[in-house]
Structure 1
Amino acid sequence: MSSARLLRWLLLLGALLVPAARAGTRGCDLPPDLVEAGAPLPATLRAVTAGRLRILVVGGVSVLGAGTSGPEAAWPARLRALLAARRPGVEFEVTVRARQGLSTAEAGDLLAEEMARTPAQLVLWATGTFSAAKGLEVDDMVEALNERLEQLRAAGTDAVLIEPQFSRFLRANANVEPYLDALRLVAATHQLPLLRRWELMRHWAETEQVDLERTPKAERVAATDRLNECLAQAMAALLRDGAAEARRSR
């Protein structure tokens, strides 16, 4: 084996081992139908090919890593680590703009502010939980999404929408389905990938892989870390699929 081929093999091996080496976290299985992009991510592919991808994550407290062992355990930070491990020659920058009790319109304002300051090639937008919990108008959520997504398209920026987190409590106390349906319709209308977070988390809970609501309090931080690791792996899989679709459509 030539030295160049050996180096490439070692880099690949390292990329495969780094995610698994994180102490205290394990992945979850990823049903293929729940991590398919279903749409290309051309701006993401161009940025990765050029060697630098800036990702903007917008949402509520879940994207800040609430309940984890620290900021580096939050899924956006874990996503960056996974991407960097798999593509060591690419610079990945992840910026998070989020706060508790954020409506879709307010998140859209944060998104616009950050994009005006430092444009990103990829936006990951988690929304719907606050709207469902407060019973806000679905049409208002859709209108806010449409406005900002059109702006992102005009700027040549890729976007991925993210469903609310699965919660038995939320399901029992709010009518979540209209918001989930609306997010799926918006994603289809704008031809964007949608991370099926609600369905993924329900699958992991029902198969007893990670279930925060039924985890003993003493084990909840570790379980939350694992959930964030699983979500990061799911998003990484979706982004790979979206980049592959963009490559095929060239």
Structure 2
Amino acid sequence: MSSHYPFRLKTLLTACAAALALFVPASLQAQTAPPPAGQHAALSDPAKSASASENKPATEGASIQANVNPTAQKGLTGKAIDKVKEVAKSAGDIFSRVPCLPSKGSKSMGSLPRVASKLVAGQPVVIVAFGSSSTQGYGSTAPEFTYPNRLAAQLRRQYPSADISVVNAGKGGEDAPEMMKRLQTAVIDLHPDLVIWQVGTNAVLRNLDPDATARLVEEGVARIQAAGSDVVLIDPQYSPRVNEHAESAGRMTKLLGRVAELRKVGIFPRFAVMKDWHEKQAIPIENFVISDGLHMSDWGYACFAQLLGDDIIKSVGQIKLGVNVPSDVRTYRPM
């Protein structure tokens, strides 16, 4: 089932302020708040992946009487203010970049002419993130930390006057055979300007034939292109569970790269990028993969979305400047 989470920091802060007014009596609202709650661990420190703690609201009664102990009043005030700051910080995290480097020798993913033309014309841009559980966001601690929502926040920050929608059409457990069955209704019928298709991981884990998967993906890309959308493919993730099937994973990534070359669409080689994090940048796997050995953590999704967003912005910028970007030039492919 498709889902779409628009997050606007200003709206959230307004709602938080209103909530604070309900928790704190008027006579205490002017008091100074205690130090703000700590930052979201997974986004401020790659070595941690914990969701923000929640403080329970007071349940001593429907209202606070005037003769309540001042110390108790101060404690209630502090808890309410801390809660507001915690919610605001969580919302603000989607607008923050994580300390994340691209792999060496990165290149443009190629041409995204429809997205660029829509932005130049000031028209709304619709992006569909199509895929399985890592698109849906399994492993993230909150909806705003899935890769589609982090990507949406980044693009809206880059193009503040643009109307940009990112639809999450991820469904856990699926691969090309299941995705092709809902390609029309979940993707093409939405008339997207860009389709980001994450595929191949479950095919590797289920020991499906990589060649058959590649043929289905090529057919799907052709249908998406015929509908007029730009396309970017995303290959499997580098993780312990996938690496148990190293031969199949290697063949899958090569075949998806070949599909991108033949159909002249972009590709974000997630497997190579994540491998670079571990082997070249010395980032422990547990920093970007959760304990199941398969799905990405908040930090992993954040870095992935950030690098993908950087490439989309770069490609759109080149087209807007009139630079001829060959469509078969793909991101992060080694020379």
Alignment TM class, shorter chain as reference: 0.7 to 0.9
Deviation at 1:168, TM superposition (A): 2.8
Deviation at 1:143, TM superposition (A): 1.6
> 2:105 is paired with a residue of what secondary structure?
helix
Q: Deviations over 1:138-170 (max 9, x none)?
A: 222122112111112222110000011111332
Deviation at 1:63, TM superposition (A): 1.0
Question: Are 2:279 and 1:208 equivalent residues in the alignment?
Answer: no
Report the CA distance shift for 1:216/1:143 in structure 2 as closer, same or farther (over 3 A).
closer
Q: Which has the larger radius of gyration?
A: 2
Q: Deviations over 1:37-64 (max 9, x none)?
A: 1x21101101222332100011111112
**Counterparts of 2:220 and 2:289 in 1: how far apart (Å)?**
37
Report the CA distance shift for 1:178/1:243 in structure 2 as closer, same or farther (over 3 A).
same
1:85 aligned residue: 157
Specify the code of the residue in structure 2 equivalent to 1:208. A
Number of residue pairs matched? 226
Specify the code of the residue in structure 1 equivalent to 2:195. V
Report the CA distance shift for 1:211/1:120 in structure 2 as closer, same or farther (over 3 A).
same
2:258 aligned residue: 185
**Counterparts of 1:215 and 1:89 in 2: how far apart (Å)?**
35
1:94 aligned residue: 166
From 99, 110, 120, the counterpart of 1:27 = 99
**Counterparts of 2:265 and 2:170 in 1: how far apart (Å)?**
21
> 2:244 is paired with a residue of what secondary structure?
helix
1:70-219 equivalences in 2 (<5 Å): 70-175=142-247, 176-206=249-279, 207-209=281-283, 211-212=285-286
| Contact 1:34/1:195, CA 8 A, preserved across alignment | no
From 45, 51, 58, the counterpart of 2:130 = 58
> 2:191 is paired with a residue of what secondary structure?
coil
From 212, 225, 230, the counterpart of 2:298 = 225
Segments of structure 1 that go 5 or more residues without pairing to the other structure are 1-20
| Contact 1:210/1:226, CA 8 A, preserved across alignment | no
Larger displacement relative to structure 2 (75-84 or 234-243): 234-243
> 1:33 is paired with a residue of what secondary structure?
coil
Larger displacement relative to structure 2 (229-238 or 203-212): 203-212
> 1:77 is paired with a residue of what secondary structure?
helix
**Counterparts of 2:121 and 2:174 in 1: how far apart (Å)?**
34
1:17 aligned residue: none
- Over the residues paired in the alignment, what is the CA RMSD in angstroms? 2.6
Deviation at 1:246, TM superposition (A): 3.2
Q: TM-score, normalised by structure 1?
A: 0.81
**Counterparts of 2:214 and 2:310 in 1: how far apart (Å)?**
26
Q: Deviations over 1:174-223 (max 9, x none)?
A: 52111011001001111111101111111112323362378796xxx9x8
1:14 aligned residue: none
Question: Are 2:314 and 1:241 equivalent residues in the alignment?
Answer: yes
**Counterparts of 1:86 and 1:97 in 2: how far apart (Å)?**
23
Specify the code of the residue in structure 2 equivalent to 1:205. H
> 1:123 is paired with a residue of what secondary structure?
strand
| Contact 2:278/2:285, CA 8 A, preserved across alignment | yes
Larger displacement relative to structure 2 (21-30 or 171-180): 21-30
Segments of structure 2 that go 5 or more residues without pairing to the other structure are 1-91, 326-335
**Counterparts of 1:22 and 1:171 in 2: how far apart (Å)?**
31
**Counterparts of 1:70 and 1:35 in 2: how far apart (Å)?**
31
**Counterparts of 1:215 and 1:40 in 2: how far apart (Å)?**
31
Specify the code of the residue in structure 2 equivalent to 1:47. K
> 1:238 is paired with a residue of what secondary structure?
helix
Deviation at 1:134, TM superposition (A): 1.2
Q: TM-score, normalised by structure 2?
A: 0.62
Specify the code of the residue in structure 2 equivalent to 1:227. G
Question: Are 2:119 and 1:48 equivalent residues in the alignment?
Answer: yes
Q: Deviations over 1:62-90 (max 9, x none)?
A: 11221111111001100000010111001
